[in-house]
Amino acid sequence: MTAPPVGLYSVKKTNFIDIDPSKPFAWADFLSVVRAGTAARASVSAKRRIDAGHRTLLKLLDDPAVKIYGIHTGFGGLQGEAIADNDLERHQRDLVASHACGVGPEMDKFEVRAMMYLRARQLARGHSGISRRAFNAYLETLNARRPPAVPIQGSVGACGDLIPLAHAGLHVLERIPAGSLGPRDGLALINGTEASLALALLGLEESRHLWRAALQAAAMGLFAVSGKTESWSPEFIRLKKHREMEVAAEDLLHCLGSYRKNGLPQDPYSLRAAVHLLGASLKLLNTAEEMLTAEADSVTDNPVILPRGPSVFHGAHFHGIQVSLAADLSAWAVHLLGLTSERRTDFLLSGRRQLPSMLAARTKSSGLMMLQTVQGALVAENRILAHPASSDSIPLSANQEDVVPMAMGAALKLKNVVANASRVIAVEALAAGRAVVLSGRAKELAAKTNLAPFMERLRRAAGVVLEGEDRGFSMAIEMLALALRRPENIK
């Protein structure tokens, strides 16, 4: 697998995105709904499957011998409780209300839209037994100008992300008149992995952008210190049998254009082994993406309705271990980007290779010295956050949920790791650009390399601090960090 083209993570410009269960997950559709706020609607295929699934559920319920979890029973450790047929709607509404118990700060609008879009895609597969009325209400809530308020803490990703999905579900149920709720509509709204999956996919999207930014910053830094390119040569790199290393080497050399330099002294590992480090990070991100997009195309409910038979299967498709592992892998990959970025920054500030110490613009000035301290603090924090959430479990619900994946915790950690690493890489990018400017090689960079657009991004985000130090760096770093992990924000 290679580094995906940058355009893969671009927003599709359209009036509607069709939710079509016959088509695989597409980044362009996902980002159009999530980032651009494009309305989602059910395709003809989705409507047919939803209606067929609901009819199948009603047919199953016609048989008094059939008992289905969550319809005729309580939930979790209370599944032994029997529910009367005349109490089914209240049971579904009470379920959503009782599970809407999240705490902490609210998910941002992108995260809520991502969660609801992913859940809508899952419901459209027709295996949840949801009624068309409830599904339409779900899309109306997704497409509303103001998304539901959803606290971000509380889910362990075990029986799906019940709590955050329930907060959105409350808003959906408000659109459905009393007496018209389907027998499984409440549980169908909340029983899946889509909250943690949403955060993990958004974290992966930003991680991809950050990987490319780290590569460009490394290339610019190598140019600034007149570093060696022989360790990135294709014929040399192919001796290692890791395709992602070849991708990193190709991209680095493309960034450097016609600039080439060989011989001694050897550069430090953070430059000389940049291909190895970036390649390893890319492999983790590729693996994580494979896991997350497969989850996005999966049925994540329980129980699951199958039209043939008809039949109902009770299982654990809501278990978020795939999401948890993928988010942990992504966090490791991004942490690796950050810690090697800090090392390259140290070399740029060291006063070697005819660059001023600390890249100070004036004699006796501190230059970027304290920005490396900021990097150290952020890398140290990410070192803690990179510990895998999936490595532990806390049994819950009277031991009925005795192995839980901590998927939401893993996705939240990824979100924080990406934010921290983006600031670390922003400091490196600022240092690399500043080194080029202070050494008087900006014109040479533009003439010999393909890094001029990256330098322009630095100038637009960093402003005057790219060359001077008569004002604080904080705003420039925040602007640049955001531009690196979400390139559309450079505008």
Structural domains present in the chain: 6-195 (1.10.275.10), 200-301+324-490 (1.20.200.10)
Q: Establish whether 259 is a catalytic residue.
A: no
Instruction: Taking residues 129-156, report their average pLDDT.
Output: 97
Question: Does position 6 have pLDDT exceeding 60, yes or no?
Answer: no
The per-residue pLDDT for 399 is 75
Indicate the pLDDT class of residue 322, thresholds 50, 70 and 90: very high
Catalytic residue among 35, 72, 167, 191: 191
According to the model, what pLDDT value does residue 310 have? Answer: 80
Examine the residue annotation and report whether 416 is marked as an active-site residue of this protein: no
How high is the pLDDT of residue 7? Answer: 52
pLDDT tens digit sequence for 55-94: 999 999 999 888 899 898 877 767 767 777 788 999 999 9
400-437 tens-digit pLDDT: 777 898 999 999 999 999 999 999 999 999 999 999 99
Residue 2 clears pLDDT 60, i.e. is over it: no
Query: Contact, 39 vs 17, CB < 8 A?
Result: yes
pLDDT at 170: 98
Active site residue 335: no
List pLDDT tens digits, range 220-269.
999 999 999 999 999 999 999 999 999 999 999 999 999 999 988 899 99
- Are 222 and 256 in contact by the 8 Å Cβ rule? The answer is yes
Out of 9, 135, 318, 454, which one is annotated catalytic? 318
Among the listed residues 25, 69, 381, 460, the single catalytic one is 69
The whole-model pTM stands at 0.95
Mean pLDDT calculated for residue range 332-348: 98
Q: Is residue 269 annotated as a catalytic residue, yes or no?
A: yes
Provide the pLDDT confidence category of residue 468 given band limits of 50, 70 and 90.
Answer: confident
Compute the mean pLDDT over every residue in the chain, rounded to the nearest whole number: 94
pLDDT of residue 9: 67
99 is catalytic: yes
Sequence-distant (6+) residues with CB within 8 A of 180 are 133
Local confidence band at 489 (pLDDT 50, 70, 90 cut-offs):
low
Question: Tens digits of per-residue pLDDT, 57-66?
Answer: 999 999 988 8
pLDDT at 82: 74
pLDDT band at 363 (very low <50, low <70, confident <90, very high): confident
Position 309 scores a pLDDT of: 79
- According to the model, what pLDDT value does residue 8 have? 63
Q: Which of 55, 90, 269, 459 is catalytic?
A: 269
Report, as an integer, the average pLDDT of 276-287.
98
* pLDDT of residue 391 exceeding 70: yes
pLDDT over threshold 60, residue 5: no
pLDDT, average across residues 466-481:
89
Percent of the chain with pLDDT over 90: 83
Distance CA 426, CA 414 (A): 18
Active site residue 69: yes
* Residue 153 phi, psi (nearest 5): -110, 150
Kindly compute the dihedral angle of the four CA atoms of residues 42, 295, 184, 51, in this order, to the nearest 10 degrees.
30
- Is the predicted pLDDT of residue 397 greater than 80, yes or no? no
In the structure, what pLDDT confidence band is assigned to residue 491 with cuts at 50, 70 and 90?
Answer: very low
Write the pLDDT tens digit of every residue in 20-51: 999 999 999 999 999 999 999 999 999 999 99
